[in-house]
Amino acid sequence: MSDPYTYEHLDDAVKIVDTAENPPVSVRLLDVLPGAKTDDIRCELRCVTLSNGVDYEALSYTWGAPDCVHQIRCGDRFLMVTVTIKEALETLRDPKRIRTMWVDQLCINQEDVDERNSQVRNMHHVYQQATRTVIFLGSVKNGTLSQLGSMTLWKHYYHAWKSRKSKSDIFEEYERLFSHPWFRRVWIL
């Protein structure tokens, strides 16, 4: 691949318009480009001001192991991502259209401490103004977590009952779901 991605400074990248209702919060959004499950991840990062009414989804997940072991293409450069983000982007990528998301690991320059601190202080605005928040608990290879994530808990319970699974099996699956690290984060509870 080519050179590593270079983050543009947020304040230089967007025109900030201050209003009382919507304070100026500059962020980067990730445009995940369409592709098949087996295609390499391709994306673009762009700087926006949230008060301008941009449509995007916010991704909620756990970082997992902090090792950045995978490269994804961002424009003509590359970004290093964790296994969790690679799996999330592969799972959530739309095969036919661009999917615009806010993913903290990629949308915040993690090597710029000042930016990181500033963005963390504004995360509530990011989640409030998202069109929806997507919770990623794992990929299909993680079994039950992805099955439960793809349907409501009630549907899962109904299908388990219909297939004559014992109640203890069902409760074990729920216990597995709710023991996921995502549910242990302070701001989730």
pLDDT digits (tens, 9 = 90+) for 16-75: 444 455 556 889 999 999 999 889 999 999 999 887 788 999 998 877 777 768 899 999
Asked if residue 130 lies in contact with residue 81, where contact means CB atoms within 8 angstroms, the answer is no
- pTM, full prediction: 0.73
Mean pLDDT of 85-101: 94
Distances (CA, A) of 186 to 60, 64, 129: 13, 16, 21
pLDDT digits (tens, 9 = 90+) for 155-178: 555 566 556 555 566 666 666 666
pLDDT of residue 73: 95
Distance between CA atoms of residues 56 and 132, nearest Å = 7
Distance between CA atoms of residues 153 and 159, nearest Å = 10
Distances (CA, A) of 14 to 5, 21, 65, 113, 123: 19, 19, 33, 20, 18
Distance between CA atoms of residues 166 and 185, nearest Å = 30
pLDDT of residue 69: 81
Mean pLDDT of 134-149: 59
